[in-house]
C-alpha cells in the first residue's frame, strides 16, 4: 500500500473544513494534489470515519459526482473568546458548529482569574460522553491586547498588565488536570480574520480588511493571504487615526479627534444624547441598536450622528484601502447591526476618497458571523494548529465511529 503523506490529509481536511460539501474534483482543484493521491487519502479518511460520503451529484454528462464532508462528530475543539466584558466558551464540532456554549460575565476592573478559564472548559466537557471526550483534540483562545515575547499579556479589558498568561495557563492546566489538552492562542483581530476567511464572507479573498467595532475600533488586515502583525503586533489600530485634527473630542487614548471619538458605538450614543435636548440624559440606558432604530424612523439627530460616524469610518478606510489595496472590506462587531444605514454611506465615502481603480469592484460587506465570530475563529485556530501537529493530525484521523468505518469499507 502506498504511503499517505500527512500533507495530503492536511490539505484535504482543510478544504472540507472551509467548504463543507465538496466533490472529488473540487478537492483536487483546491488542493492541487494529483487525483491518485486524493483518491488514496480519501479512501483512508472514509475508512477512518473522519470523512463521510454524503451523496452524489448528477452532472450534465450523466456521470455521478460524489460529495464528501467532514464527519462533524469525528473531532471536537474547545473555543474561548476572552472578549473583555465576559468570557465565551464553546465546544465546536469538526465543521465549526457550536455544540455547547457557556459564558461568564467578568467583574469590571478586576483582573481575570485564569482558573475561570479551566472551570468554563470543564463545564463544556461535562456534556460529553466518554467517546466524545476522547475526540476532543485541542483548544483555541482568542485574546485581546498584546502578548509579548515572554508570553505576558497586556489587555486593558481583562485588567492584565504584563500578566504571565502562558506560564499561568500551564500551571492552572496542571491544577485542573487538563495538561493533555493542547492550547493555542491568537490575537482577537486575527481570529476574526480567520473566521471570515474560512467561514464568512472573505472566503476566496487574499487581501482584505476587517473593521470591528466594540468598545473601540480596530482592523484586522490580511495581505496575500497572510495576517499583518506589525512590529509590536499593533498593525490595524485604525481607531486612533486622527480623523479631525481640529476636534475638541478627547479619545480614551488621550489624543483628540481619533476615529473612535466619532464612530465607536459608545461615542455614537454619547453624541446622540448630547445633541438631543429633550431626549434621554443618560447614555447608559441606550444601546447602539436603539440609535440605528431611531435613524430608520428618520429621527434627525440619530440620522446625523450615524451619518457622521459612517463618513468618518469611510474616510479612515479610504486611507487603509489606498495603502493596502484590499478586494474586500468587512464591517463586524456592534456596528454591523446598522449595516443597512452604514454600508451605503461608507461605500460612498470610500468612492469619494480613493482612486477609482482601488474602489471599483471592491466588496464592502457586513459580517454575517455575529457574536460567534471570534469563537469560530478560535475553533478554526485549534483546527489549523492541530492539522500542523503530526500527533494531533493522527488523532483527528484515528477511527472515529465504528459504524462509519464499517459503512465506508
Interacting residues with Zn ion (CB under 5 A): 240, 251, 253, 255, 258
Between 10 and 189, name the residue whose CB sits nearer to Zn ion. 189
Between 70 and 258, name the residue whose CB sits nearer to Zn ion. 258
**Contact criterion met (CB below 8 Å) for 305 and 291:** yes
Q: At closest approach, how far in Å is the CB of 335 from Zn ion?
A: 17
Q: At closest approach, how far in Å is the CB of 243 from Zn ion?
A: 10
**Contact criterion met (CB below 8 Å) for 20 and 61:** no
Between 165 and 219, name the residue whose CB sits nearer to Zn ion. 219
C-beta atoms surrounding 28 within 10 Å:
19
Helical H segments across 49-105, by residue range: none
Q: At closest approach, how far in Å is the CB of 242 from Zn ion?
A: 8
Helical H segments across 277-399, by residue range: 288-296, 300-324, 339-353, 356-359, 373-388, 390-396
Between 19 and 255, name the residue whose CB sits nearer to Zn ion. 255
Q: At closest approach, how far in Å is the CB of 250 from Zn ion?
A: 9
What is the sign, positive or negative, of the torsion defined by CA atoms of 93, 206, 5, 27? positive
Torsional class of 6: left (φ above 0), alpha (ψ -120 to 50), beta (otherwise): alpha
Between 234 and 355, name the residue whose CB sits nearer to Zn ion. 234
Q: At closest approach, how far in Å is the CB of 249 from Zn ion?
A: 10
Between 33 and 315, name the residue whose CB sits nearer to Zn ion. 315
Q: At closest approach, how far in Å is the CB of 228 from Zn ion?
A: 20
The full DSSP string for 173-217 is HHHTT-TTS-EEEEEHHHHHHHHHHHHSTTTT-SSEEEEEESSSE
C-beta atoms surrounding 366 within 10 Å:
17
Q: Vertex 84, ends 82 and 88: CA angle to 5°?
A: 40
Amino acid at each position: 500500500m502506498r504511503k499517505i503523506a500527512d500533507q495530503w490529509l492536511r490539505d484535504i481536511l482543510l478544504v472540507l473544513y472551509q467548504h463543507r460539501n465538496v466533490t472529488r474534483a473540487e478537492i483536487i482543484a483546491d488542493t492541487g494534489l494529483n487525483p491518485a493521491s486524493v483518491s488514496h487519502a480519501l479512501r483512508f479518511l472514509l475508512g477512518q470515519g473522519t470523512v463521510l460520503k454524503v451523496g452524489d451529484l448528477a452532472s450534465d454528462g450523466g456521470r455521478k459526482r460524489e460529495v464528501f464532508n467532514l464527519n462533524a462528530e469525528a473531532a471536537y475543539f474547545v473555543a474561548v473568546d476572552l472578549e473583555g466584558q465576559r468570557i465565551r466558551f464553546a465546544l465546536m464540532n469538526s465543521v465549526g458548529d457550536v455544540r455547547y456554549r457557556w459564558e461568564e460575565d467578568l467583574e469590571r476592573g478586576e483582573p481575570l482569574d485564569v482558573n475561570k478559564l479551566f472551570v468554563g472548559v470543564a463545564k463544556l466537557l461535562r456534556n460529553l460522553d466518554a467517546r466524545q471526550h476522547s475526540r476532543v483534540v485541542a483548544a483555541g483562545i482568542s485574546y485581546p491586547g498584546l502578548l509579548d515575547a515572554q508570553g505576558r499579556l497586556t489587555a486593558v479589558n481583562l485588567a492584565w498588565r504584563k500578566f504571565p498568561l502562558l506560564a499561568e495557563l500551564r500551571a492552572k492546566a496542571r491544577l485542573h488536570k487538563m495538561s493533555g489538552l493542547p492550547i493555542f492562542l491568537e490575537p482577537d483581530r486575527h481570529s476574526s480574520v480567520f473566521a471570515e476567511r474560512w467561514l464568512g464572507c472573505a472566503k476566496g479573498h487574499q487581501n482584505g480588511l476587517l473593521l470591528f467595532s466594540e468598545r473601540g475600533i480596530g482592523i484586522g488586515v490580511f495581505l496575500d493571504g497572510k495576517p499583518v502583525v506589525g512590529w509590536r503586533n499593533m498593525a490595524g489600530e485604525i481607531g486612533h487615526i486622527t480623523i479631525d485634527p481640529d476636534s475638541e473630542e478627547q479619545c480614551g487614548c488621550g489624543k483628540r479627534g481619533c476615529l473612535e471619538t466619532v464612530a465607536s458605538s459608545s461615542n455614537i450614543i454619547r453624541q446622540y444624547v448630547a445633541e438631543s435636548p429633550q431626549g434621554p440624559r443618560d447614555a447608559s440606558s441606550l444601546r447602539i441598536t436603539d440609535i440605528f432604530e431611531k435613524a430608520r424612523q428618520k429621527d434627525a439627530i440619530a440620522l446625523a450622528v450615524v451619518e457622521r460616524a459612517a463618513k468618518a469610518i469611510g474616510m479612515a478606510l479610504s486611507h487603509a484601502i489606498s495603502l493596502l489595496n484590499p478586494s474586500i472590506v468587512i464591517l463586524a462587531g456592534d456596528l454591523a447591526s446598522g449595516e443597512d444605514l452604514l454600508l451605503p454611506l461608507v461605500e460612498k465615502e470610500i468612492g469619494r476618497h480613493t482612486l477609482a481603480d482601488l474602489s471599483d469592484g471592491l466588496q464592502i460587506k457586513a459580517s454575517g458571523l455575529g457574536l460567534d465570530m471570534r469563537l469560530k475563529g478560535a475553533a478554526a485556530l485549534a483546527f489549523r494548529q492541530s492539522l500542523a501537529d503530526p500527533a494531533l493530525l493522527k488523532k483527528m484521523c484515528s477511527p472515529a465511529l465504528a459504524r462509519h468505518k464499517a459503512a465506508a469499507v
